[in-house]
Structure 1
């Protein structure tokens, strides 16, 4: 038993598989959302609006509009001054006079010729230019008659009236000039519009800047944008950013995906064209009949049944033999292979010394193997070649439980993890050529504990993204 692994597993050093799996799934979902947002027009719009609404000029305008009132404004002062002048008694009398019939009558008499005869007679009498007494008497009588007329009487008295004197005084006054100027201003459409605007308590809410700020906040608070902001300046998404999924099987169909897996050993297919068993093994491979997808999980089943198979005999070569057990072997050879990357799989740890469940990488040369998982007669992970191996014991894990086994394969280095806990590293004699995935379940010695199942929940292979 691996004491290290036992202690880690017992005291929480190996994290919960469900939590690890949930975290991985969540991370990839977040990465997909992050990537979509990163390329979206919405993010471009947000960044443009963010720059605008955070500018000092924008903040200043917002503060001004929120505090802007009619009270205390230049418009209010103009209106107050106008109303004050409007109540001015002298101006009121001025406008009354200006609109009066008396002023019109006076100006008509003054500008017209109705009084020309009166002024002519008055000038002649004053100058003494009348030649005869008889003519003087006649003209004087005419003059007195005109002088007593209502027009002449009115014309002589009206200029002396208080109303007319006030009219003349106010006509050239500063008050009247200011009043008229203010009247033009306060009665204009522009002034009325501005007054209404200043009296509106929702000036900010009706501004185009408010619409932009509202849109900015709407975008900023969108869940996907918030997720983007959460990760933007962190390294939390470094894995999905730097690694891409190049192979995956979640076994969610009704049968094994033939585009991903073959049920014939890669080397058997290349040599004799059909499956064969190694010397000492007790099983025959059934070409996929012992493989099933059940509950979105791959199961390789070992059964007690008679089945003919080729068996490799070190002396005689391949001989046909009736085997007492059946099993299966699966490979991606010829369908998928990769050089360097991360292989991970969720596998049930179900050790039984009579069997050997193996998940490994192998290449064309069929010598060196990278064992992601071995369970049974030997329960370990690591590197093996011919009759030698360099591994780490899995004894100490909880039987019957699912774990996520990972293998990080780099140039000159391979490391193994269980539920993200790194446990073993090899830096010598590591492969530097493409390899493919292989799964098999072997019968090492007779067993009554049948059927036996090799359960795999899912498989994934990642490679570094190309820049």
Structure 2
């Protein structure tokens, strides 16, 4: 489909390409910033917890909770068992009984002390002797009076009830349990089953499985996780992560860039003539067939961050290379400009991208790469005779038939109406040319295997009408990348 689009000249909009790239860079920067956010870290922490088998088991266990499986239930059952026990019932019945109350009042009372004292006397040897010695006068004796008092006390209901209760199983049970560990435990259990804590557990256990779960810490964690999962930022992050488009950025390292924002060409990056002219002649020169002379930057202008190479109709004197006689002096009717990174920057393999607008004239305007010698030579994009040409040249210029080339041509009028992004991708075994990210040509022969530098030039190599001049080749920016290992 890409080749059909190329054939039909259906190249994507330059503005769209740049907008998408800017959006990708922004997304990349925002993505990296968000990657370190507390929100994402919390989401990933919760995702690990909530989606673990341990969490699922815990959730299941919470929903499956039954009251009869709790410690509270066990304590309640222990309490109810004790509460039903006869000896516990008897203990509390006795504790609150009238009999115990009367017994405790009688026990140690003056009446009981008197009765016990009289009883000791009546049962003593002293009483027996006094009774015997008194004879017929016994009824008039103090011993008789005491005996009568003792007998009367013994017949009293309070004394009889006291001794009856004292020997009863109820009192024995009460005295055995009162203050015992068993009663202390029972009363502790009773306080527990009457407590708010116990009622809260029992009420909780009466809830439906889902309602139980909704009161758990796990439910709160799950809700926090689900709310984060719905957030636009989280979904945006994982959508970008799944798309995996950032390799377009991360796979490449920017090694050279100029967007011409300084108002003039950066002399640390650009030279205004051919590399060997600068090295050998300290001067500029023209090549065979050139009808123009390259000035020392006079035909280069930068306005609004756009560098323009201007070709003019004006006379000039300068050198031209003659393959037979070498450099010679010549008169020129046109001037133009050239910039290259011959002295500042060269690279072997990578990706070159530049945004250029060619002028709609019959001039020759080109973006190219070259190394130490004339060959290899790569035309990233060249407008000539109203055609856009892309291709590479390789071989040995000194041998007959030693120069090889592969070139593709497209109608050039489209590329003079607007800026287009021209790309060369260069690997050890392949060259790929693109216009606005659409592949135009690929080549696997004559691949350069040495560092090359980039150049931009414009000039006259054929008839041109005076009204077409001056004409400018506009360069918005240039970027060169190296593939990361």
Report the TM-score range of the alignment, normalised by the length of the smaller protein: 0.7 to 0.9
Structure 2 partner of 1:413 = 430
Structure 1 partner of 2:283 = 274
The 10-residue stretch of structure 1 (25-34 or 361-370) with the greater mean CA deviation from structure 2: 25-34
Report the Cα distance in structure 2 between the residues aligned to 1:425 and 1:256, rounded to whole angstroms: 32
- Please state whether the residue corresponding to 1:394 is helix, strand or coil: strand
Do the aligned partners of residues 275 and 313 (structure 1) sit closer, same or farther apart at CA in structure 2, a change above 3 Å counting?
same
Q: In the alignment, which of 212, 233, 258 is matched to residue 249 of structure 1? A: 258
Structure 1 partner of 2:478 = 459
1:142 aligns with 2:149: yes
Alignment length (residue pairs): 458
Report the Cα distance in structure 2 between the residues aligned to 1:150 and 1:307, rounded to whole angstroms: 153
1:166-195 deviation per Cα after TM superposition (whole angstroms, max 9, x unaligned): 9799989xx978852422433679658867
Deviation at 1:338?
A: 0.7
Structure 1 unmatched runs, 5+: none
The 10-residue stretch of structure 1 (405-414 or 143-152) with the greater mean CA deviation from structure 2: 143-152
Deviation at 1:67?
A: 7.9
Do the aligned partners of residues 212 and 451 (structure 1) sit closer, same or farther apart at CA in structure 2, a change above 3 Å counting?
farther
State the TM-score, normalized to the length of structure 1.
0.76
Do the aligned partners of residues 451 and 97 (structure 1) sit closer, same or farther apart at CA in structure 2, a change above 3 Å counting?
farther
Do the aligned partners of residues 441 and 46 (structure 1) sit closer, same or farther apart at CA in structure 2, a change above 3 Å counting?
same
Q: What is the RMSD of the two structures over their aligned residues, measured on CA atoms? A: 4.9
Query: Contact conserved, 1:300 with 1:453, CA < 8 A, in 2?
Result: yes
1:53 aligns with 2:50: yes
- Please state whether the residue corresponding to 1:115 is helix, strand or coil: helix
Q: In the alignment, which of 361, 382, 396 is matched to residue 369 of structure 2? A: 361
Report the Cα distance in structure 2 between the residues aligned to 1:322 and 1:256, rounded to whole angstroms: 27
Tell which has more relative contact order, 1 or 2 (C-alpha 8 A, sep 6+): 1
Structure 2 partner of 1:429 = 446
- Please state whether the residue corresponding to 1:256 is helix, strand or coil: coil
1:245-294 deviation per Cα after TM superposition (whole angstroms, max 9, x unaligned): 22223334433333332223222211211222223323332333333333
Q: In the alignment, which of 398, 404, 409 is matched to residue 414 of structure 2? A: 398
Q: In the alignment, which of 462, 468, 471 is matched to residue 449 of structure 1? A: 468
Query: Contact conserved, 1:34 with 1:224, CA < 8 A, in 2?
Result: no
Do the aligned partners of residues 59 and 97 (structure 1) sit closer, same or farther apart at CA in structure 2, a change above 3 Å counting?
same
Report the Cα distance in structure 1 between the residues aligned to 2:105 and 2:366, rounded to whole angstroms: 125
- Please state whether the residue corresponding to 1:398 is helix, strand or coil: helix
Deviation at 1:121?
A: 3.9
State the TM-score, normalized to the length of structure 2.
0.73
Structure 2 partner of 1:438 = 455
Query: Contact conserved, 1:381 with 1:393, CA < 8 A, in 2?
Result: yes
Report the Cα distance in structure 2 between the residues aligned to 1:296 and 1:71, rounded to whole angstroms: 81
Structure 2 unmatched runs, 5+: 132-137, 398-402
Report the Cα distance in structure 2 between the residues aligned to 1:124 and 1:13, rounded to whole angstroms: 138
Query: Contact conserved, 1:349 with 1:398, CA < 8 A, in 2?
Result: no
The 10-residue stretch of structure 1 (55-64 or 433-442) with the greater mean CA deviation from structure 2: 55-64
Q: How does 1:362-401 map to 2 (within 5 A)?
A: 362-377=370-385, 379-384=388-393, 389-395=405-411, 398-399=414-415, 400-401=417-418
Report the Cα distance in structure 2 between the residues aligned to 1:397 and 1:113, rounded to whole angstroms: 136
Structure 2 partner of 1:341 = 350
Do the aligned partners of residues 339 and 98 (structure 1) sit closer, same or farther apart at CA in structure 2, a change above 3 Å counting?
same
Q: Which of 1 and 2 has greater Rg?
A: 2
Query: Contact conserved, 1:344 with 1:460, CA < 8 A, in 2?
Result: yes
Query: Contact conserved, 2:43 with 2:228, CA < 8 A, in 1?
Result: yes
Do the aligned partners of residues 304 and 204 (structure 1) sit closer, same or farther apart at CA in structure 2, a change above 3 Å counting?
farther
Whichever structure has more helix as a proportion of its residues is 2
Deviation at 1:369?
A: 0.7
Report the Cα distance in structure 2 between the residues aligned to 1:12 and 1:318, rounded to whole angstroms: 42
